Structure 1
Amino acid sequence: MSHTTTILAELMKYMTEHDLNISDLARKAKMNPGTVSSLVNGNRKFSVYQLDRITEAMGHPVGYYYERYIPECLADASPNWRRMSPFLENCAKLNKLDCIQQVVNMLLDKLGYADPLFQLAEQLFQEKLYEAAAILYENVALSENKQHSERLAICQYRLFQSRQGDDQERSYEAAVQFETYVNRLDEIDQLDALRDLVNTYRSLRKWKKVNKFAKILGDLAEIQYKLGLQQQNAQKENTKKPFYPLFAYWSFSHLVRAEVFDANKDYKTALQHIQKYADLSWVEERDETTLKWKNQFKEWASANTYVNKLMSGDVSVLPDYVAYFSSNKEEILPGLDNIIEAANRYNLNVDVVLQQFENEILSLLEVQRNVGVYNQHFMQERFTHFSKELAVYYLHKGMFSDGFRFLLSCLEKSTVINNKSYILECVRLFESFRENASSETTAAYQKLISEVDAHEE
């Protein structure tokens, strides 16, 4: 919608229609009469704070005039950052992304604005206003002449983080784009960035990439840990520290590399990686955080040893493995997923286990939350994989009602997260058992397929 009148003209019209003088308007807007007089007489431009007060006094929602505010108050030959900065912050909070883009476009050819834009982007990112921050990061990255600068790398890291969401294809594209920038970050920032990159590829089961970046992460963490020991006496209080203890990054590297080899059915090599993080006696620190993570990795090593043996066909560990995760809520979904995958692989009957966790499985059908140490993408993918494996298990046992219920659940979730490989698996599975599907199941399936087609368009 185009506007032919200015903000000031509309204000004057409002004052006339409501028979308000400057003092009346100032009182209604809770502003200084002198300030209002200067604005009404055109002697000064509105600040965004003043505009918001006047807008509310006129009975409009905050942001109502923002599109007009840009050409009328911000489009100067010499942009005023003190005026632009609070406006951009407000636009971010109101999700007026087009306004943010317009203001940033005005600054692209102006020298000296990359740094304040970057600082504002960091502020918005911390406030979880990711879409607004992404616009700023994108434009700061475009204006960065030094292609190997750390600021450019940070912009790309933030863009990668802000693009992680339900759409797995978009998450993958963002990860691929960020790959080439990760080694340009500060070494400490690299640790967390590599961990994030590994977790994204892990949630997508891109095992080659998981292995590649997990190895880089482990090598970097080992180097940083040794450097830390050598410089321990010279460390300053303001030295940048990673989010987790350094040994935890190294341990995490071997944990996920064990997953990679398990996925590739190289159980011997996987077990070697598990044994590496099972024994952390070499870690010298004795603080509470260190002890917590040492115990956590020891516990994970024990659990993943069960998984390693189970996946290699050693069914004898099943009772101990079930006992482990039955008392650990956040491990129930991964545990059940591992068991049902092994059951399908080795034709095992695990009905007793499924009955034991029937309530938990039904609750998982309703909602999947970001639980404990597992990130949202990992849990979403894990539940989708679990639904698919359950569908396979029940359908091959002739339990068609349960089988199709989990098949449809998998198809629905796969559509939401845009996972094409799972969608294809669901289609193949349904077609294999189509003759056993009820008319209601077939109708539900066709509806989901229509949603898949619409998503593709």
Structure 2
Amino acid sequence: MKATTTIRGEIEHFIKERGLTINQFARATGINSGTLSSIINGRRPLSVKQLDQITSVMGLEEGHFFERYIEECIFHSTPDWRRLGPFLYRCMELDKLDCLDTAVRMTLDNTTYLPMLYELAETFVQEAKYKAALLLYECVAESEKYQHSERLALCHYRLFKHRIENNHESNGRAIVLFGSYLERLNEADQLDAYVQVINVSLPLDRWDSIRNLAERMGKKARIQYDNGNYLDTDSGKPNQPIIFYVLYSYLVLENYYTQSGDYERALQHVSHYDLPDWIVNPSEEERKIINQFHEWAVANRYLNRLLSGDREVLPEYVEYISKREDEIFTSICNIVLAANRHKIPINHVLERFKDFLVYRSQRNNISTINEQVTLNRYTRLLAELGIYYLNAEQYDRGLAYIVDSFEYSIRIRSDKGMLRCMGLFEQFRSFASPEIQQRYQELINEVQKLSVYAWMPVV
């Protein structure tokens, strides 16, 4: 059989080879004999359901004819959505993404299909078929002629969310690609997008951008709350009650000033999200959010005092977090950082919370913590633990933590983390055991395989 044989030609060949009549073949496929005759004679288009029925009776693998179906029934004709939509859905079901991509791109000149393609992508997301959905979002985004359309912005938002991974380099690119579309989203999606971009930016230490995003998000959310827009269900609602976005903006701004060492201004922002008096008649869900931010406010007051050098607050801080298991990991990360900065002995704290010095998914009373944030915190925690033990002249223990942090830094493609660990290890290399040196060298070899570090000599 020649590769150029048409689907109709193969059907005719099969019927003739098996000595069947049209009626017999029609009964086997469940297709009306008149309809089947019209299909074979080219007077009637072939639907994907009919193609599946025919393929099954012919004993062929599902999707066997899909490439030729695209050529014959899509490229050389003007398919209507009643045929194109089911075909794309079937491509998704059979994981024939090459066929899906080819078929869609053949129809992109017809902009009337863009709303249907977008809705189909949304359906794919609901069914957790993300790869197929991303192909559709990309095609719609490429073909959307109205550059300020909400649909275009939504496509880029969906693409942004699915591009996020535990990789600083790729996440940085994802933020850049999405940045100009954030303000084009509707108000509900926009607030959620602000949170997403902020959370992805936090591990990248893009603090000026983070501050700007937090200020804009807080302002927009407060305006919506004051105007009662959050009650308008016709325009949609964000994932969280509107007060969350206002309070979260203050929390992010507090973090901005904390990391910059301006603890006085950081504490001012803590007061903004601690039991705010502007919230009127909070619902049960809103009260839950208020209580969670209150807990964070108490913990962060302790933290900012500790980071400013107030050692006396450490026992109170430790006792407070000990009763709130969800807060222990984050707080330990901060305590070790403060201990290294101000030479505070914390062996008793590390021993007490040793079971929390491991990587695991984190959550709080209102949400699950962003995985990229948790991984970045854990990577930094390992480095700070290494520094703590190196300062205590426990070199084996300290260098083991440094190498662990180095491994995680490579995993998440953190340039800053890799350089920090390499610098520390080289500073204390003479104290490293042969086993630790070998592991470090293996990681250096892994770093050299990364294209961005191709220039690096073997240490």
TM-score for both structures, normalised by structure 2: 0.87
- Equivalence map 1:128-277=2 (5 Å): 128-228=128-228, 238-277=234-273
Q: Is the 8 A contact 1:368 1:383 kept in 2?
A: no
Instruction: Quote the residue 1:75 is aligned against.
Output: 75
**C-alpha displacement at 1:275, in angstroms?**
0.6
Instruction: Give the Cα separation in 2 of the matches to 1:241 and 1:321.
Output: 37
**C-alpha displacement at 1:9, in angstroms?**
5.6
From 421, 426, 435, the counterpart of 2:430 = 435
Instruction: Quote the residue 2:310 is aligned against.
Output: 314
Task: Indicate whether 1:293 and 2:289 are aligned.
Answer: yes
**C-alpha displacement at 1:158, in angstroms?**
1.6
Instruction: Give the Cα separation in 1 of the matches to 2:215 and 2:55.
Output: 56
**C-alpha displacement at 1:261, in angstroms?**
0.5
Q: CA distance change for structure 1 residues 94 and 335 in 2, over 3 Å: closer, same or farther? A: farther
Farther off after superposition, 297-306 or 108-117? 108-117
Task: Indicate whether 1:361 and 2:357 are aligned.
Answer: yes
5+ residue gaps, structure 1:
none
Task: Indicate whether 1:425 and 2:420 are aligned.
Answer: yes
**C-alpha displacement at 1:193, in angstroms?**
1.4
| Sequence identity percentage | 40
Q: CA distance change for structure 1 residues 439 and 108 in 2, over 3 Å: closer, same or farther? A: same
Deviations 1:366-409 (A, max 9, x none): x5467743111111111111122122222332323332332232
Farther off after superposition, 385-394 or 38-47? 38-47
Instruction: Give the Cα separation in 1 of the matches to 2:219 and 2:356.
Output: 39
Instruction: Give the Cα separation in 1 of the matches to 2:400 and 2:16.
Output: 65
SS for the counterpart of 2:226 is helix
Farther off after superposition, 143-152 or 198-207? 143-152
Q: Is the 8 A contact 1:74 1:83 kept in 2?
A: no
Instruction: Give the Cα separation in 1 of the matches to 2:396 and 2:22.
Output: 73
Instruction: Give the Cα separation in 2 of the matches to 1:222 and 1:401.
Output: 52
Farther off after superposition, 62-71 or 147-156? 62-71
**C-alpha displacement at 1:307, in angstroms?**
1.3
Instruction: Give the Cα separation in 1 of the matches to 2:430 and 2:169.
Output: 32
Q: Is the 8 A contact 1:278 1:297 kept in 2?
A: yes
**C-alpha displacement at 1:327, in angstroms?**
3.4
Q: CA distance change for structure 1 residues 239 and 396 in 2, over 3 Å: closer, same or farther? A: same
SS for the counterpart of 2:76 is coil
Letter in 1 for 2:270: I
SS for the counterpart of 1:283 is coil
Q: Is the 8 A contact 1:274 1:304 kept in 2?
A: yes
Letter in 2 for 1:432: Q
**C-alpha displacement at 1:309, in angstroms?**
1.2
Task: Indicate whether 1:97 and 2:92 are aligned.
Answer: no
Q: CA distance change for structure 1 residues 275 and 107 in 2, over 3 Å: closer, same or farther? A: same
Q: Is the 8 A contact 2:337 2:384 kept in 1?
A: yes
Instruction: Give the Cα separation in 2 of the matches to 1:437 and 1:202.
Output: 33
Instruction: Give the Cα separation in 2 of the matches to 1:453 and 1:327.
Output: 45
Task: Indicate whether 1:376 and 2:377 are aligned.
Answer: no
Task: Indicate whether 1:346 and 2:352 are aligned.
Answer: no
User: Please, what is the CA RMSD of the aligned residues?
Assistant: 3.0
SS for the counterpart of 1:373 is coil
Instruction: Quote the residue 1:326 is aligned against.
Output: 322
Q: Is the 8 A contact 1:262 1:270 kept in 2?
A: yes
**C-alpha displacement at 1:188, in angstroms?**
2.6
Letter in 2 for 1:48: V
Q: CA distance change for structure 1 residues 95 and 423 in 2, over 3 Å: closer, same or farther? A: farther
Deviations 1:214-268 (A, max 9, x none): 000011111111111xx79xx6654522221222111000001100100000100
Task: Indicate whether 1:303 and 2:305 are aligned.
Answer: no
Instruction: Give the Cα separation in 2 of the matches to 1:254 and 1:270.
Output: 9
Q: Is the 8 A contact 2:336 2:381 kept in 1?
A: yes
Instruction: Quote the residue 1:404 is aligned against.
Output: 399
TM-score for both structures, normalised by structure 1: 0.87
Letter in 1 for 2:430: E
Instruction: Quote the residue 1:112 is aligned against.
Output: 112
Q: CA distance change for structure 1 residues 268 and 88 in 2, over 3 Å: closer, same or farther? A: same
Letter in 1 for 2:166: D
Count of aligned positions: 448
Q: CA distance change for structure 1 residues 184 and 21 in 2, over 3 Å: closer, same or farther? A: same
